[in-house]
């Protein structure tokens, strides 16, 4: 596992890597004030002292700030990535030297074996708390690492895909410890999934391709919170946006948001760019790939790399077009695939904007503290609404906005049967 450990780099290269990693972490830290406030409170309470936390999150600057915050609060933390292409190498390397309570094993472009090696390394610490993005740590503990079950108090899950997996486990009676549902907090999915994915997907596609968005026919597959954000930001940049969605309610919503809605196959024939964000597999399937026009760009923003049929694309002649872009010759036409079909916003971009991850990771920190200090049943646990609201209030305050509050009379009115006259 030399690659994972940066063993092939010389002293100067490592020094450069460390320097730019430190810069990125420091920049992120300055823009994460809510996490800082909660981190200081957790530290003062000593509630995480010597709690062992294994984290599998996209290992980039904002995640580094979360890991450091927990380590500084007294937890012993092991951080690894939740995707082979999402690690920011300078950050991963710099974090190794950042705090005695924090250990890191992650690198961009690792193999499947290296990926699982790193997840298992994180679990070797015998964690009390898991912080997962996508559910891989939890799955490992319930399958190949069952010996760890007794020690695990529970965990937190970051993303929609992970919550779907956890709910399936819970339904089958297989979930053996409580998992805090970070994704469904208002202060997470309304901002991270929508505006975060919206902006970071643009960042990933524009960084990978350097093309003009304005005037392009863009198809967004999936109109959940992420798809809504991507469609909104694409439209804002001047693209002609259409939506493919299987849920009729979401499809009606897309129509009312002003988008054309049609079957993916029909939209795909004329698309310049197709972005998937459905959370489901086999979305851009072989029948769709066969119909794409020359020069179509395919990108995925869903958690797993199974939304675009990359295996089918790989049956065609393939060459590197530029960094992050492969060109396939599909039945005489060129089809471009970004980031190997992995989440384009992290594999080719910088992930969600920092102020948005401030909210998501404030929830992660608060969730980890709850799991470490309170008793919950082995189930998917809903994050307390009062804490969600507190994070909103802190965010408003750190952004410099003041809002009104209800008078006692108004509060009473809102909980009474009183008529409006």
Could you list the residues that contact ligand ADE (CB under 6 A)? 57-58, 60, 62-63, 133, 158-159, 196, 200, 345-346, 351-352, 357
CA distance 411 to 123: 48
Nearest to 34 by CA among 354, 371, 346, 350: 354
Of 267 and 365, the one with the shorter C-beta distance to ligand ADE is 365
State the nearest-atom distance from the C-beta of 233 to ligand ADE, in Å: 14
Which residues is 261 bridged to in the sheet? 243
Cα separation, 104 vs 98, in Å, equals 10
Q: What span, in angstroms and rounded, lies between the C-alpha atoms of 392 and 402?
A: 12
295 in Cβ contact with 271 (< 8 Å):
no
d(CA 34, CA 157): 19
Q: Which residues is 180 bridged to in the sheet? A: 156, 381
User: Collapsing DSSP states into helix, strand and coil, what is residue 284?
Assistant: strand
Nearer to ligand ADE (CB atom), residue 140 or residue 357? 357
Sign of the four-CA dihedral 384, 386, 389, 391? negative
Is there a contact between 388 and 186 (Cβ–Cβ < 8 Å)? yes
Rounded to a whole number of angstroms, the minimum distance from the CB of residue 331 to ligand ADE is: 35
**Least distance from ligand ADE to the Cβ atom of residue 134, Å:** 8
Sequence-distant (6+) residues with CB within 8 A of 66 are 35, 55, 57, 361, 364, 365
Cβ nearer to ligand ADE, comparing 60 with 307:
60
88 — alpha (psi -120 to 50), left (phi > 0) or beta? beta
The residue with its CB nearest to ligand ADE is 351
Closer residue to ligand ADE in complex, CB, 60/305? 60
Q: Which candidate, 100, 110, 101, 78, places its Cα nearest to that of 6?
A: 110
Our CB check for ligand ADE shows the closer of 192 and 388 to be: 192
- For the bound state, the minimum distance from the C-beta of residue 105 to ligand ADE, rounded and expressed in Å, comes to 17
Least separation in angstroms between CB 245 and ligand ADE: 22
- Nearer to ligand ADE by Cβ, of 330 and 346: the residue is 346
CB count within 10 Å of CB 110 equals 22
The CA R_g of the chain, rounded to the nearest whole Å, is 22
- Assess contact for 106 and 87: CB atoms under 8 A: yes
Nearer to ligand ADE, 296 or 346 (CB): 346
Q: Which is nearer to ligand ADE, 177 or 191 (CB)?
A: 191
Q: Which is nearer to ligand ADE, 283 or 346 (CB)?
A: 346
Residue 349 CB, nearest approach to ligand ADE (Å): 9
State the minimum distance, in angstroms, from the CB of residue 139 to ligand ADE: 17
Nearest alpha carbon to residue 372 among 39, 100, 52, 64: 52
CB of 343 to ligand ADE, least distance (A): 8
Q: Least distance (Å) from ligand ADE to the CB of residue 292?
A: 27
């Amino acid at each position: 596992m030399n690659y994972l450990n940066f063993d092939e780099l010389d002293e100067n290269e490592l020094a450069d890597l460390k320097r730019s990693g430190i810069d990125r972490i420091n920049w992120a830290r300055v823009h994460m004030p809510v996490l800082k406030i909660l981190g200081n409170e957790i530290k003062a309470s000593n509630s995480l002292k010597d709690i062992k936390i294994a984290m599998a999150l996209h290992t980039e600057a904002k995640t580094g700030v979360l890991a450091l915050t927990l380590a500084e609060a007294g937890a012993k933390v092991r951080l690894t990535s939740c995707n082979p292409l999402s690690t920011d190498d300078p950050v991963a390397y710099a974090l190794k030297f950042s705090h005695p309570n924090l250990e890191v094993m992650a690198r961009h472009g690792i193999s499947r074996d290296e990926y699982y090696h790193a997840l298992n390394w994180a679990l070797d610490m015998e964690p009390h708390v898991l912080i997962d993005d996508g559910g891989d740590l939890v799955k490992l503990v319930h399958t190949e690492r069952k010996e760890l079950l007794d020690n695990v108090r529970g965990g937190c899950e970051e993303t929609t895909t992970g919550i779907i997996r956890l709910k399936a486990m819970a339904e089958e009676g297989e979930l053996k410890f409580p998992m805090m549902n970070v994704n469904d907090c208002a202060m997470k999915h309304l901002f991270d999934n929508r505006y975060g994915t919206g902006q970071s997907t643009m960042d990933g596609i524009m960084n990978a391709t350097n093309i003009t968005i304005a005037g392009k026919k863009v198809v967004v597959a999936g109109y959940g919170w992420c798809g809504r954000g991507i469609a909104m930001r694409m439209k804002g940049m001047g693209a002609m946006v259409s939506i493919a969605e299987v849920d009729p309610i979401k499809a009606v919503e897309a129509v009312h948001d002003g988008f054309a809605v049609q079957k993916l196959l029909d939209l795909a024939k004329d698309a310049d760019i197709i972005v998937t964000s459905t959370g489901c597999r086999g979305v851009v399937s072989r029948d769709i790939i066969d119909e794409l026009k020359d020069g179509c760009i395919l990108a995925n923003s869903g958690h797993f790399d199974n939304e675009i049929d990359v295996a089918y694309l790989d049956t065609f002649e393939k060459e590197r077009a530029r960094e992050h872009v492969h060109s396939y010759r599909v039945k005489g036409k060129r089809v471009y695939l970004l980031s190997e079909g992995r989440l384009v916003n992290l594999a080719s971009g910088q992930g969600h904007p920092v102020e948005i991850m401030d909210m998501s990771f404030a929830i992660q920190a608060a969730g980890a503290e709850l799991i470490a200090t309170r008793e919950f049943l082995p189930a998917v646990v809903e994050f307390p609404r009062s804490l969600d609201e507190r994070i909103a209030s802190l965010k408003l305050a750190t952004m410099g906005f003041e809002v009104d509050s209800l008078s006692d009379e108004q509060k009473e009115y809102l909980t009474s049967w009183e008529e409006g006259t």
